[in-house]
Chains A and B, each alone.
Chain A
Amino acid sequence: MDNAFGQPQTIVVLGGTSDIGLAIARELISPVTRTIVLACRDLDRGERAAAALRDGAFEVVVVHFDGADTASHEALIAGLAATYGDLDVVVLAFGQLGNGEETGRDVTDAAVLAHLNFTGAVSVAVAVANRLRVQGHGTLVVLSSVAGERVRKANFVYGATKAGLDGFAQGLGDSLVGSGARVLVVRPGFVHSAMTKGMKAAPFATTPDKVAEVTVRGLRRGSRTVWAPGILRFVFSALRHLPAPVWRRLPLG
């Protein structure tokens, strides 16, 4: 149960080795933190991330989670709640970047990426939302991306999965109104992280820590959507209306 400051006792990161996911967990740590669950595919990497988070006052546990294995999601979420009590904040932070335009030319790669980033996310998000409904409280944080605001050909399968996830998260949030539970959609721009290592930074690039700050502020305020950095809201408001030929030629990284 959150306290009056929106400080959660139990935090779950789906995609527990994600730089942004871990930064959000770190930012949420407070004297009332009790359990942080890192749910990931690679348990060794998860253990390393857990060790870095552990502080003595709260426990950090690593559990196996495969975003693509939709059949396992319901049982996973039910199991977490049964073991650790009410889930206060669940962060949906898993996904692959894909391989730019090349992914859009390979049938299998495209389908695999779409399944993980979109279908897998939808599946586990529904499981989480159902649990939060039972609890009468709790927040699902969905890491969307500006890449979904207007899809670029440079990475269009990824961008499309984020566009779909974003729309889904908003609809889910609307359907949760009155249940006591909420959804917060976070739209980061280009984030310097393990996922984007070696890539050329886009304008208004940010860091996982900054995204975490924006996210936690949004959680405390009860926001529905937040952009990181905030200025991107206005940037994309404009970019959205660019004629397609102009958009196509923009050097956005």
Chain B
Amino acid sequence: MRAVVRTTLTGWGRTNPSAADVVELFPGELPGALKEIDDRGALVRGLGRSYGDAAQNGGGLVIRLLGSASDALLDRAAGTVTVSAGASLDELLRHLVPRGFFVPVTPGTRFVTIGGAIASDIHGKNHHVDGSFGNHVLRMSLQLADGSVAELSRTSDPDLFWATIGGMGLTGIVLEATIALLAVETSRMAVDTHRIADLDRLMSVMDDGDDEAHRYSVAWIDLAAKGSQLGRSVLTRGDHAKLDQLSAKQQVDPLAYGPQQLVSVPPIIPRPGLLNHMTVAAFNELWFRKAPKRRLGGIESISSFFHPLDMVGQWPRFYGRPGLVQYQLMVPFGQEDAMRRIVERVSASGAASFLAVLKRFGAGNEAPLSFPQPGWTLALDLPGGAPNLDRLLHHLDDMVLGAGGRNYFAKDAHTSPHTIRGGYSRLAEWQAVRRRVDPHDSWQSDLGRRLRLADD
């Protein structure tokens, strides 16, 4: 095994640090490495975009799985790609888009690995139409703790297949997967943008049936706005642009794709960071006003529509030393009142949040720990240093549970085992499958320990 270095790891929010032995391995080296696992277990870490402690393992082994998209096997006729789990969506998109294909689900950043996409069962702006990432995984191979490799699909050990989707890396190591793709004519998006005056109007617009007419739909909410402006938002709905929707100039190279990172945040940010309620309120005001009241069919690039944050490297550094805490919840349909109360509570707390995103979820899938269920999801960025933030989030946890909702593991950095058991009624079912393939707790993570995912 090559060099092992004890390294302090955090999530994307730069909170919850712990130190682990980090090693880089090729998939072929895994069986040998399994022998080195002790009672602190092992975990694969992708690109570390989970906000909390999902991709770290204090005192244990953390494996960086080497593998790129250059070995990806595209089957044009079937519209599928077989790719190693260590490849990122960024690499995959650079390979696929010029060839007329898109990934079936992308989150707000391109910098997640295929393995991470499966482990968190990520979702995107098209969940209401296309479901989450796991819905499009046709098959995958999983390295098990006993050294064997399992071939998983909906017909080949479906229990383990679905336990691995959303299983946060705790059933084994995904080695490679075959994903169903979306065929696209161009690398651009046709986008409708609306400014909406308040939350009630927003939810009713998103619910009015028109949402399904667009593949992608998401609203950005200004949480600094209060009173009658509570939940004022910018709703964007888009589809992959057809060739005839592009300008003549764009039609010359319709599948051109070359996303750039414009700038990166330097590691020196003044304390206490640049974000407080006043600066965020000012920023949000400008952002809200900048959005057109109503614009139909605007042409945007893939990066600008899906991945605006990726334009700024290391953006959590803006939050300074205390880091940032993300909170993502969902409540089922019929609980719009609870969502309204939650938005009011966050707005009243004055906890600054640039990026509050509201989305409508469609049908969930069979994975027991998958986050999306039919209903509404709200995702918030909060400065880790905001006063009484712990109290706010623990209170929101109670409100979410009371509404029959749940939190998202990929974002969680603070909640308790109790909250998770309330939100995920199929946890025991997942634990039984996991125990079958990992009876000695070879796969562990800080998230798993903190939320007691593996324990009863």
Contact = CB atoms under 8 A, between A and B. Distances in A.
A91 to B, nearest CB: 20
Given A32-B415, A137-B59, A5 B19 contact: no
Given A32-B414, A178-B6, A179-B6, A3 B59 contact: no
B6 A31 contact: no
A137 B6 CA distance: 12
Contacts of B53: 1
A137 B323 contact: no
A4 B40 contact: no
B394 interface: yes
A9 B414 CA distance: 11
A30 interface: yes
A167 interface: no
Nearest to B389: A5
Contacts of A3: 16, 390, 413-415, 450
Interface string A64-102: 000000000000000000000110000000000000000
Contact of B13 (A4, A135, A137): A4
Contact of B414 (A4, A133, A134, A178): A4
Interface in A158-192: 178-181
B58 A5 contact: no
B60 to A, nearest CB: 7
Pick from B8, B13, B390 the residue with the most CB of A within 10 Å: B390
Contact of B384 (A4, A9, A133): A4
Main secondary structure of the interface of A (DSSP, over half): loop
Contacts of A144: none
Contact of A134 (B40, B323, B390, B397): B40
Contacts of B413: 3-4
Contact of A9 (B8, B60, B450): B450
A136 interface: yes
B20 A136 contact: yes
Nearest to A138: B58
B18 A1 contact: yes
Contact of B450 (A1, A134, A136): A1
Interface string B300-327: 0000000000000000000001010100
Interface in B408-430: 413-417
Contacts of A5: 325, 384, 389-390, 414
Contacts of B384: 4-5
Interface in B197-254: none
A7 interface: yes
A7 B446 contact: no
A2 interface: yes
Contacts of B13: 4
Given A7-B414, A136-B18, A1 B59 contact: no
Pick from A85, A134, A180 the residue with the most CB of B within 10 Å: A180
Given A85-B449, A179-B6, A4 B16 contact: yes
A81 to B, nearest CB: 11
Contact of B18 (A7, A31, A137): A137
A110 to B, nearest CB: 40
B380 to A, nearest CB: 13
Interface string B310-347: 00000000000101010000000000000000000000
B394 A136 contact: no
A85 B15 CA distance: 21
B58 A136 contact: yes
Contacts of B107: none
A34 B449 CA distance: 12
A180 B60 CA distance: 11
Shortest 9 CB-CB contacts between residues of A and residues of B = A180-B19, A136-B58, A136-B59, A4-B413, A4-B15, A137-B18, A1-B450, A5-B390, A3-B414
Interface of B: 6, 8, 13, 15-20, 40, 52-53, 57-60, 321, 323, 325, 384, 389-390, 394, 397, 413-417, 446, 449-450
28 contacts: A1-B446, A1-B449, A1-B450, A3-B450, A4-B325, A4-B413, A4-B414, A5-B389, A7-B414, A30-B390, A31-B397, A32-B416, A32-B450, A34-B417, A85-B449, A86-B449, A135-B18, A135-B40, A136-B60, A137-B19, A137-B446, A178-B6, A178-B8, A179-B6, A179-B19, A180-B8, A180-B18, A180-B20
